[in-house]
Amino acid sequence: MLTLIAVACISRSWAPTADFVVSPNGDDNAAGTAKRPFRTLEKARDAVRVFRSAHPEINRSIVVLLKSGTYELAQPFKLAPEDSGTASSPTVYVGDHAVLSGGRQIRGFQTDSHGWWKITLPEVREGSWRFAQLFVNGQRRYRPRFPKQGYYNFSAELPPSEAAKGHGYDRFAYRQGDVNPNWSNLSDIEVLCFHIWDMSRMRIGAVDPSATMVTTTGPTGYDAGWANFPKGNRYIVENVREGLSDPGEWYLDNKTGELTYIPLPGEKPESAQVVAPKIPRLLEIDGDWRAKKYVENVNFRGISFSNCNWTLGPQGRFFPQAEVDLSAAIHAEGWRNSTMVDCQVSHTGEYGIEMGAGCRQVSVERCKLSDLGAGGVKIGETNIHDDEQDAAQDITVRYSDIAHNGRLHPAAIGVWIGQSPHINITNNRIHDLYYTGVSVGWTWGYSKSQAHDNLIAFNDIYDIGQGVLSDMGGIYTLGVQPGTTLMGNRIHDVDSFSYGGWGIYPDEGSSNELIEDNLIYRTKSGGFHQHYGQGNIVRNNIFAFAREAEIIRTRAEDHLSFTFEHNIVYWKNAPLLGSNWSGNNYKLDNNLYWRTDGKPVDFAGMTLAAWQAKGQDAHSLIADPLFANPEKDDFTLRRASPAFKIGFNAFVPTQRDRTGEIGSPTPNTQPPAFPTLSSVH
């Protein structure tokens, strides 16, 4: 007879009964009970299979309890269609302070005369283990780099080598002294090359000191200006043994296997928890979506996923946008009718969670994703399926905290949605990224797109860009997207390196979107920028305190680009309208404009009267909206505000639907991996 074990206070107030119990100190030859738990998740999974086969009539949840502790995985935990539950009897994996780790705790450090910790790892020396991340007491530590702060700059633009022609760029010129051909383990040194909206990570193949030229082991892969190494572009040289000097830095000598760590004040080798990642994925949900065999009704609750490996390949790495070729700690295909609630994903080398083809009716709720090598959540793919039903869709991510992303791959996205419809990203906190917060769509221009009817609503998106990359937005969209709505989001502190630090950014072909009730402020390049698109509606938003311009339009086309109405625009020391306002294929009306520095308001060089004569803003006002305290981020409107005269709804952007609970954010106690513009060398 199966024993049911009561589990109290596993996750919030939910107290299930456990059918099978797993413990890091268990035994797979045991019974899987509270007193005699299994040791591995695989054993529990197989026990669930056997039990379901023997009891097909069961009409309640089957619960697998993971007892407190760290489970060091030798391989990802895998689920297949035969592990499915049913709508009335889902399988639920519940964690009681359980951590699934892809890393190994390193013990046995010796202290040298400098106080540095050292240990030799045989698996590294033998070539069976490589890692590029290290976590000490739950915090990421960084490898030594040059320069110590800021960036180096390419001194000239060089043509690619003969071998690389047509395949991208593999040469750059450095300033005398910035690169040393005598550095140790030269082939293990990585060069982080910042382009425009992306960064390539290359390996040094050869250094020619007479020409001050580096040739990388492989090309960037794209013969385009946005993939080259022009004069003035920034770069960092990382994993340089000779740069090992500061507390918190570490170096792994792959030839000898010696790991060296310089401790921070107060850290002791006998008590510190030092973890190096070993496997890249922790959970694989492998539904066979092509055969319509899915993994269904399998839920996860209160489990932590941590310490995932990623290492640079021999030819280096470059991807043209958003780093979406990278995988994730949790990878799913063909996963349906399932939930992930109150879970954590941290210390990864790639994305946190990805849901690919065949995923449907999956909800990620109250989860916390932090300290990620790439981005937070990837939904869908870059390709268009012949049958849209095979695309990831009906996915929800809500009440979650997605933070401190891009620690290895700064061009990654907080939440990326590819060719997928019916995705809901709501009530999340997305912050501390070096590129875009939420990206929707993967079609450039007006050709076919499967991204439609997506909802991005009531999210707090902030500290985006941080002066590292360019051409980004708090929310970024691509392609024709009928039914897509961006509403009720609070977006602020978006700062690009050069151009393109926008709040909401409908890029190439973005069409048929509704953008309303958003509060956007303190952006570098503008609150709203439409590159080109058709039929977008921008209404009832607040745009404030952009540094370069507030509203930007780039391409004039022979159709109506967008309608901009019932918005409040509030700014100082910058133009109202930026870039290209030629033609008249846009409609602005019933807006409230106010410039706080007392200078005249002009509309692309025109007075309001001339602008109105052109057919724009016929019913708009220039007046102080009477915000409560905008300098302190309080954009509440007073009762006497003239905003009511233009039909502005004063309450939607500030009184937000916060009925759920967001996971507590993790303080960013470490400096960013990629310095901001203020510290450029």
pLDDT digits (tens, 9 = 90+) for 196-205: 999 999 999 9
Judged on CB neighbours under 10 Å (0-12, 13-18, 19+), 264 is middle
Closest CA to 464 of 528, 524, 391: 524
pLDDT at position 672, please? Answer: 41
* pLDDT averages per 10-residue partition of the chain, 681 residues: 40 66 98 97 98 95 98 98 98 98 98 97 98 98 97 97 96 98 97 98 98 98 95 98 98 98 97 98 98 98 98 97 98 98 98 98 98 98 97 98 98 98 98 98 98 98 98 98 97 98 98 97 98 98 97 97 98 96 97 96 96 98 96 94 92 43 38 36 24
Count up the domains in the chain and report the number: 3
Note whether 537 and 613 are same-domain residues: yes
| Bridge partner list, 475 | 438, 504
Note whether 612 and 530 are same-domain residues: yes
Note whether 564 and 647 are same-domain residues: yes
Note whether 134 and 169 are same-domain residues: no
Half-sphere exposure of 107 (CA within 13 A, CB side): 3
For 598-658, where are the alpha helices, taking DSSP H only? 608-613
Token pair, residue 52, equals: 């379901």
The backbone torsions φ and ψ at residue 533, rounded to the nearest 5 degrees and listed phi first, read: 175, -170
Boundary (domain end) residue, out of 196, 221, 242: 242
Range of the domain at 527: 502-667
Q: Is 644 helix (H, G, I), strand (E, B) or coil?
A: helix
User: Any idea what the Cα angle at residue 319 is, between residues 288 and 228, rounded to 5°?
Assistant: 165
Boundary (domain end) residue, out of 256, 276, 296: 276
Note whether 575 and 613 are same-domain residues: yes
* Cα 77 to Cα 592: distance, rounded to the nearest angstrom: 55
Note whether 165 and 224 are same-domain residues: yes
Note whether 135 and 232 are same-domain residues: no
Note whether 213 and 252 are same-domain residues: no
Residue 265 within a domain:
yes
For 358-441, where are the alpha helices, taking DSSP H only? none
Residue 424 within a domain:
no
Note whether 150 and 252 are same-domain residues: no
User: Any idea what the Cα angle at residue 530 is, between residues 527 and 531, rounded to 5°?
Assistant: 130
Note whether 127 and 158 are same-domain residues: no
> In which element (H, E) is residue 112 found?
none
Residue 608 within a domain:
yes
Note whether 151 and 218 are same-domain residues: yes
Closest CA to 143 of 129, 131, 127: 131
Boundary (domain end) residue, out of 199, 227, 242: 242
Cα 73–chain centre separation: 25
Residue 158 within a domain:
yes
* Cα 367 to Cα 342: distance, rounded to the nearest angstrom: 5
Residue 462 within a domain:
no
Report yes or no: 321 and 224 within 8 Å, Cβ to Cβ.
no
pLDDT at position 11, please? Answer: 42
Cα 470–chain centre separation: 16
Q: Beta strand pairing status for 415-417 and 377-379?
A: parallel
Report yes or no: 31 and 114 within 8 Å, Cβ to Cβ.
no
Q: How many CB atoms lie under 10 A from the CB of residue 579?
A: 19
* Cα 216 to Cα 190: distance, rounded to the nearest angstrom: 9
Instruction: Please tell me what DSSP assigns to residue 654.
Output: T
* Cα 320 to Cα 508: distance, rounded to the nearest angstrom: 15
AA identity, residue 611: W
The backbone torsions φ and ψ at residue 113, rounded to the nearest 5 degrees and listed phi first, read: -65, -20
* Cα 320 to Cα 323: distance, rounded to the nearest angstrom: 7
Report yes or no: 427 and 398 within 8 Å, Cβ to Cβ.
yes
The backbone torsions φ and ψ at residue 490, rounded to the nearest 5 degrees and listed phi first, read: -105, 115
* Cα 561 to Cα 532: distance, rounded to the nearest angstrom: 7
Instruction: Please tell me what DSSP assigns to residue 603.
Output: B
DSSP string for 440-483: E----SSS-----S-EEES-EEEEESTTS--SEEEEEE-SB-TT
Half-sphere exposure of 575 (CA within 13 A, CB side): 17
Token pair, residue 559, equals: 């159709």
Residue 580 within a domain:
yes
Q: How many CB atoms lie under 10 A from the CB of residue 573?
A: 12
pLDDT at position 16, please? Answer: 58
> In which element (H, E) is residue 200 found?
strand 199-208
Predicted TM-score (pTM) above 0.85: yes
Note whether 622 and 527 are same-domain residues: yes
Residue 130 within a domain:
yes
Residue 335 within a domain:
no
